[in-house]
Amino acid sequence: MLKNIAAALLLMSAAITACADEAAIRKALQAIYPKAKVESVSKTPYPGLYEVFVEGQIFYSDDNFTYFIAEGRLIDARTRKDLTASRMDELTKVDFDALPLEQAIKVVRGNGNRKVAVFSDPDCPYCKKLEKQELASLTDVTIYTFLYPLEGLHPDAANKSKAIWCAPDRVKAWQDWVLNGQLVKGSAGCNTPLDKVAALGRKLGITSTPTLIFADGKRMLGAYPSKDIEKALGGIQK
């Protein structure tokens, strides 16, 4: 009899504690995100982890709502910093000085102090957007463009890459194409580094274009605005 009473009290205590934790999480969440509509908070089978249902979305929180996990990413609740993204930046850093820059098309603007490498597909619309709308405004920078045709998406990209690389003036051939849609004509055949660049891209885990790699080893995927690229480069240097 006493054992049954003790067990019942233990279960009751656990239930009260769980309710208290759920209420504390709800209160902490509302303090940080007052406009969020919290539909439910419930304890998961995993110790110290709670399911939070907010405005049709599920995410997971610790018992103090210090951090939460949303879409597979760990977020600092107060600063809203994506800790998963920060760790990915660290784990996927590239040794910029080890890149085979001689296999890239080199463009120098101004003093060229700041450096960025770009893996670009000649037929990628976002690569063209990056060149026209974002990279064109950068100053005091050296841009190394690795021709990285994704033939599964763009069957003729490899041919265009070869024509551009084998042109008498690679920089002009590249810019004529991405900025004006004019492909160099009569380009003689030559030995290209395309196979080596493809192997490098696979080694670095590059699966989409454009992919930018900065001197500090961090990467950026997509045609980000120039202000974000400037920030990654470290601002305008004089």
Domain total of the chain: 2
- For 18-32, 96-110, 115-129, 178-192, which range has the lowest pLDDT when averaged over its residues? 18-32
- The CATH number that applies at residue 65 is 3.10.450.70
pTM of the model: 0.70
DSSP state string for 28-58: HHHHHSTT--EEEEEE-SSTT-EEEEETTEE
Domain boundary among 91, 120, 135: 91
Q: Is residue 106 assigned to a domain?
A: yes
What pLDDT does 20 receive? 52
pLDDT at 90: 80
Taking only the tens place, the pLDDT of each residue in 66-93 is 878 777 777 887 788 887 778 777 878 8
Task: For residues 192 and 196, give the distance between their C-alpha atoms in angstroms, rounded to a whole number.
Answer: 9
Going by C-alpha positions, the residue among 77, 76, 78 that lies closest to residue 86 is 76
Same domain, 103 and 169: yes
